[in-house]
Amino acid sequence: MRLFLAFLPDENMVKALKIVQDRLKEKGMKGRYSQEWNLHLTAAFIGEYPDDEAVLEAVSEIESEPLTIRLEGYGCFGSTVWAGVAKNEELLECVRKIRRALAAAGIPFDNKPFKPHFTLVRGAHFGEKLPGIMVPAPTMTIREVTLMRSDRGKSGMNYTAIGSIPFIDP
């Protein structure tokens, strides 16, 4: 199974992300737009790993108060366009705890630096620079981390929630 741990957007965040996608479409951006049920903020990409229960167990005792994030700006990694998240030390610390828990359990993960974002468009075509658009700035509270499975479908990747682990109050 191809696995990753993520924070799922609430309804208001999904609406804001769809607004950003609509604005990009209005500016003529072509590409594979993320479906709303696939939107997420990746905390740790695990990749191929056979034991989802071990992953859930590893993160079952993460201590964190609920934390609030805010959408801020957008950008690209090559042809992938994303919506960003405002700098947030609590979010960074939560992700460090998740990754430390995985490492302690011997579960391999991609340890690239964490750059919080929601992927909006893959294979985007936008010329030499991104079009100028206004990005809403909703907030959302994170209270849990969700283990996701990634499967390749006819029209791209499909993500399925396997289970969520609420944070334990410190």
For the chain, how many structural domains are there in total? 1
Mean pLDDT, residues 81-96 taken together: 97
Question: What are the pLDDT digits (tens) for 23-72?
Answer: 999 999 999 999 999 999 999 999 999 999 999 999 999 999 999 999 99
CATH number at residue 136: 3.90.1140.10
Q: What does the pLDDT look like over 106-161, one tens digit per residue?
A: 999 999 999 999 999 999 998 788 999 999 999 999 999 999 999 887 777 889 99
3-state helix, strand, coil in the chain (%, to 5): 25, 40, 35
Q: Which structural domain range is residue 148 located in?
A: 2-166
Q: Is the pLDDT of residue 13 over 80?
A: yes
Alpha-carbon span 99 to 63, nearest angstrom: 13
Distance CA 169, CA 8 (A): 19
Place of tokens 């799922």: 8
Among 6-10, 13-17, 62-66, 96-100, where is mean pLDDT lowest? 62-66
- The count of C-alpha atoms lying within 13 angstroms of the C-alpha of 2, restricted to the half-sphere facing its C-beta, is 7
Give yes or no for residue 1 having a pLDDT over 90. Answer: no
User: Residue 154: what pLDDT?
Assistant: 76
